[in-house]
Structure formats: structure tokens, C-alpha cells
Amino acid sequence: MVSTACPYGPREILRDGTYGILTPIGDPAAMAAAIETALARTPDRRSLRMRGLNYTATRAADRLLEILSELDAPSPGVTGVYPLARAS
């Protein structure tokens, strides 16, 4: 697994490089070297598979529903199941 260390995602998913190699943004030479390194290694498939189970569509949907259930109830007259913005 190889990714750029862009904000909001790869660093968290790869746990700061535990599950893959992070490269600086905009550094194609580092990305190429990381890809070569990754291809030369035998991956720990069980570990990667277990990590991947944290990022299924079902888990994402369950988490979204948890977040939505924590929102305040809508004001009277507001339409929609989960209004995310309120008039000031």
C-alpha cells in the first residue's frame, strides 16, 4: 500500500505508515521509490485484510447514522430527514 501523506485520510487509514508507505505530496521520485519498495515486499495479507474491514460500506453507513442521530432535532417547519443547516 502506497499513498501520499495528504490531509484527512491516508495517514489515519495507514496509521502513520503501519499499513503502508506514505510519501510527501508532490514528490514523484519518493512515490516511485515507495512503489518499488512495496512491490518488492511480501505483504502481510491477514493484517491488511483485517485493517480493511474497518473501511467497509456497512461500517461507513453505520457511522453516518450514529453521527446523524447525535444532531439536534429539526426545528418546526424545517423539511428533510436530517437538515444539516439552519436559518439564522
Total domains, the chain:
1
Instruction: With respect to residue 15, please indicate whether it lies within any of the assigned structural domains.
Output: yes
Instruction: With respect to residue 75, please indicate whether it lies within any of the assigned structural domains.
Output: no
Instruction: With respect to residue 84, please indicate whether it lies within any of the assigned structural domains.
Output: no
Instruction: With respect to residue 88, please indicate whether it lies within any of the assigned structural domains.
Output: no
Strand partners, 4: 23
Query: By residue range, what is the domain housing residue 17?
Result: 2-69
CA distance 80 to 78: 7
Catalogue the E-assigned strands of the chain.
2-4, 21-23
Is 0.85 surpassed by the pTM of this model? Answer: no
Instruction: With respect to residue 87, please indicate whether it lies within any of the assigned structural domains.
Output: no
**What's the whole-number mean pLDDT along residues 45-58?**
93
Q: Does the pLDDT of residue 87 top 60, yes or no?
A: no
> Please, how many CA atoms are within 13 Å of residue 42, restricted to the half-sphere of its CB?
1
Q: How do residues 7-45 score in pLDDT, each as one tens digit?
A: 888 999 999 989 999 999 999 999 999 999 999 999 899
